[in-house]
Every structure is written in C-alpha cells, then in structure tokens.
Amino acid sequence: MTRPGSFDYVVVGGGSAGCVLAARLSEDPDTHVLLLEAGSGTPLDLVAVPPAWPALMGTEADWADRTVPQDGADGLVVPWPRGRGLGGSSTINAMCFLRGHVSSYDAWVKQGATGWAYDDLLPYFKRSENVTGVPGRDPRYRGMDGPLRVAPAANRHPLAEAFLAAAVEAGHPVTEDFTSGLDTAFGWGDLSIADGRRWDAATAYLRGPVMDRPNLHVVTDTLVHRLTFEGERCTGVVHGADGDLIEVRAEREVVLTAGAVGSAQLLMLSGIGPASHLRELGITTRADLPGVGANLQDHPMCGVVYEATGPVPPAANGHGEVQGLIRTDDSLDGPDVQLQMVDVPLREDTLPGPGFDRGYTIMVALMTPCSRGSIRLSEATPGSAPIIDPRYYADSRDVDAVVHGVRAARRIGAATALDAWRGAEAQPGLAALSDEELRAYVRRNLRSYGHYTGTCRIGAADDVDAVVRTDLRVRGVAGLRVADASVMPSVVSANTNATVYAIAERAADLLRGH
C-alpha cells in the first residue's frame, strides 16, 4: 500500500451527489477536494441519447444488481439498475426531473429530520436547476441560474399529448408546473435534457472549467475498500484497483455519496453498522448502528400495457413526458401513486406483450410504500455484490394502493382521447377484473423504479435507529458524513434525482459552515 496523500475533503462516489459536492467544495481555491468513483470517467456514447436509456441497463455503466427473491411478489428476482461511472444514476435514468409533493418532505420532520422540510430544501432545489425561459415557471419556487438545465419535452410525443387529454377527460386536474412540488395533478414534467442531449450531474457540475480547478482531483475506475480511523475519528479511505491500494487522508472530513447501496456497504465494511451482522462476517464493530442498511425503500412499478393500433412513433426524449399524482385514499396527507404515460410496452421481463414499437403503458408507481427492506453484505470482501431485499409488498397496504392505481390507469386508458391509439389490453387483460385478480397481477408484474433510499437515514440525536444526525454527521463517528439518497427518512413522492441534488447542495453548505 502506498503512503497516503492529503486532502481537505474526500468524497466517495461520483454520482449526482458526489458531483455536486466536488464542484461546490472546490469553489474555495484553498480547499483541496478528492472525488473517488468506482466506474469510468468516460461515458458510453448512448448516455447522451435520451431515448436510449433502456439500452444502458446491464452495460458497464450499470452495477446491474438484482434483489433476492421477493416473497411479496411470488418469488420474483427483480433487476436493480444502478449507475456506475462519473454522474452515477443520472447517466442511466429516464431523466424525469421532479420534486415530490411538499407533504413527503414534511413527513421527514415528523420522523426526526428537523430542518429538512420542503421549505428548508427549497433554496437548494432552486440552486441546482436552471429553468430560464421555460413558460409558467415561478421564480419563487424554481431556480433560474443553477448548473442543471431542465425543461419539459421539446418534441412532445403524440401519445403523451393524448394521455394528458385522457387524464382531463377522466376528471383529473392539470398543472402548468408539475415540478413545483405543490400540486396533486397531471402535467408535463421537467426533464434533464438540454439541446436534445442528456444533462447529467457530471455534465452539469463537473465537466468544463470545474474539472480544470487545480484544487479538485477526480479519480475514476477506483473502488474504495474501507474507511480509516484514528480513535473515533474517520481520517480517510483506502482505495484502488487490481490489488494496488492507496491510502488517502481527509484533513477535514470524509463524505459518503455512494447512494443507498454503496454508502451503506462501505460503512458496514468499515465496521459501522448492526453489530450482529458484522460479527457474522468477522468484521470488527467500530460503531454499532443498527440503522445502517435498514429502512430500504423504493418505488415499485406496475402498469396497464396496451397494444397499439399501429406502430408507435420513436421517442425523442426519455419515454415518459407526462405524469400525474393521485391519492388512493382521501385521508392521506398527500399523493401516494404516480401515473405516467410510457411510450413503450414496459412490463416484467417474462410477461407476454407487444413488441417495443407496438404498444404503450400507463405506468403505476407506488410513491409512499409502507414496506421496508434492507441492504446487507454478502461477504467481507470489498466489491462483492450486496444482498438486496426491498421486501416489496411485504405490507399488504402497498398492494391495495397499486391496485387502486391500476383501476385509475384503466379509466384514463379507456378515455376517448386515446381511442386512436388503443388496441387490446395486453396486461393484465380484461379478464382481470376483481380485486383478487388485480392483486395477483400487481405481484407478478413488478419492476423497480430505481429510486433506492433510506439506508442511512436522518434522525434525531436520541434516535438509536438513525444513522446520521440532522447535520448529516454519522452518529458516534467524527469526521464522517453521508449526503445522498440514503439519508432520506422516507422516499419522496417523485423520481428522486432532483431531491438528491438538493440534499447535496445543502450538504455543501453544512460542510462549509454556511
């Protein structure tokens, strides 16, 4: 092992949050920042092509994880795509740039995350984005000069236009700005696409003049093996590839931005996590934090799949341009299901249905799941695939909510605005009418939305199950913070990428003492 270098901050994980922190912390020329990323620094050519994102699944840009068999979903093993490379999941996602409804952030405060309500995060949402010139965007709620260029679809797909008209016909309200976080309605969601190309975190925050800063060091194709310590203080990391390990020192702090899977993995490999699990793998416990790897959440997806009356035109964007939020129960504080037009027939891989350009889907995604899962180590070797158990549909309320969403999707799908497009209902098929039949369908047509959260959640100082305090410091360990999707106490009611940017923007201020 070579002797350590020294930096003020070592940021572990070059995904959305890591790119933000590396850019913001290095704005001070006297602050030296090291950003470490396990994947490549050179994106695949397809990354820039918005509608090509499905082809990125399983490539070198994807960790290509899989869950354990899901008891709540008839034993399905669910693919779990996760971005690998500079920009992380922002380089392989479907580019929907949405905020959750205000209620899903205020729910964090009720769980002990004081200071993390929607209004607290609003300045950081605005700091990350640039919606200059987009009609209907209110500068009180939207950012006009951030690095990330976002806007609704420039070349609107005719199926998306028909879907929005069908939603209105089915009695749903329409909002001009679906990304504001204030509405339960349908509308054209913002996309992280600019000039016809994906606008990911590395493009927005790092590439260009920021990468040339002499105080910013970006190292890719290197895996962080463990954290290093002096007493109770985290002092740096050990990283490397092909057995060539390097130790680097953080004079101020180490910040984990490796996501809900990677950050929890690294903490446990370094002896921070549930002591019983660490003992099973022969890892010495440094801090017994049972919440590390627990509280795992995702948005499970199902959908109503239709055959089209003719070939579906190719997409110019990310296959999903219009979304809607609904409540499946009027007693809920906020919306719990997202409906979205997907201009391809998306379904669980083994289910029959039309070809790629011969169908479409009204997707149903559960936004506020009650089920909770876990990330665990399969062995004590860095780089080993984790044990991923989201426990989809372990709580029957989740299945009931998705069934309600499927019925709502069918009502929209039957509207006259979609008559010109609608052929036969391929999935679940019109024979599936009863609640029991639809519950069975929901369990077998399960996909992950790729919105993994919660495994290092924020909590109050006296909350023994919390992993980080409200300032994102890891409990019981000095010099170490987590600042990514893993800190969310509960998953928000939208695609999570916009919230990750806001968390990282706020983390940068916390680290700088602002």
Is the confidence at residue 297, as pLDDT, over 90? yes
For residue 462, report the phi and psi dihedrals to the nearest 5 degrees.
Answer: -95, 10
- Is the CATH number of domain 153-189+300-366+393-445 3.30.410.40? yes
Is the confidence at residue 481, as pLDDT, over 70? yes
Residues that are catalytic: 451
The band of 199, judged by pLDDT with boundaries at 50, 70 and 90, is: very high
First and final C-alpha spacing in the chain:
37
The band of 208, judged by pLDDT with boundaries at 50, 70 and 90, is: confident
User: How far is it, in rounded angstroms, from Cα 222 to Cα 219?
Assistant: 7
The β-bridge relationship of strands 148-149 and 129-130 is parallel
The band of 243, judged by pLDDT with boundaries at 50, 70 and 90, is: confident
Return residue ranges of the chain for CATH 3.50.50.60.
1-151+192-297+375-386+453-514
User: Does the pTM exceed 0.85?
Assistant: yes
User: How far is it, in rounded angstroms, from Cα 368 to Cα 300?
Assistant: 10
Which carries the bigger pLDDT value, residue 242 or residue 423?
423
pLDDT for res 124: 98
The one-letter code for the residue type at 450 is G
HSE-CB at 280 with a 13 A cutoff on CA atoms is 10
State the greatest distance between any 2 C-alpha atoms of the chain, in Å, as a whole number: 69
Return residue ranges of the chain for CATH 3.30.410.40.
153-189+300-366+393-445
β-strand partners of 22 = none
pLDDT for res 125: 98
Report the percentage of the chain scoring pLDDT > 70: 99
Report the percentage of the chain scoring pLDDT > 90: 96
Is the confidence at residue 12, as pLDDT, over 90? yes
pLDDT digits (tens, 9 = 90+) for 320-350: 999 999 999 999 999 999 999 999 999 999 9
pLDDT digits (tens, 9 = 90+) for 437-469: 999 999 999 999 999 999 999 999 999 999 999
DSSP 34-54: EEE-SS-SS--GGGG-GGGGG
Residues 435/424, Cβ–Cβ less than 8 Å: no
**Which tokens hold the place of 424?**
């036969």
pLDDT digits (tens, 9 = 90+) for 167-183: 999 999 999 998 888 87
User: How far is it, in rounded angstroms, from Cα 181 to Cα 110?
Assistant: 18
β-strand partners of 7 = 250
The alpha carbons of the chain give a radius of gyration, in whole angstroms, of 22
The β-bridge relationship of strands 300-308 and 223-230 is unpaired
Nearest CA to 113 among 456, 343, 398? 456
* Residue 332 CB neighbour total at 10 angstroms: 12
| Average pLDDT score, the chain | 96
The band of 3, judged by pLDDT with boundaries at 50, 70 and 90, is: low
Instruction: Return the CATH fold of 1-151+192-297+375-386+453-514.
Output: FAD/NAD(P)-binding domain (3.50.50)
pLDDT for res 1: 57
What is the mean predicted confidence (pLDDT) over 288-303? Answer: 98
What is the mean predicted confidence (pLDDT) over 390-401? Answer: 98
Is the confidence at residue 375, as pLDDT, over 90? yes
Is the confidence at residue 263, as pLDDT, over 60? yes
Is the confidence at residue 4, as pLDDT, over 80? no
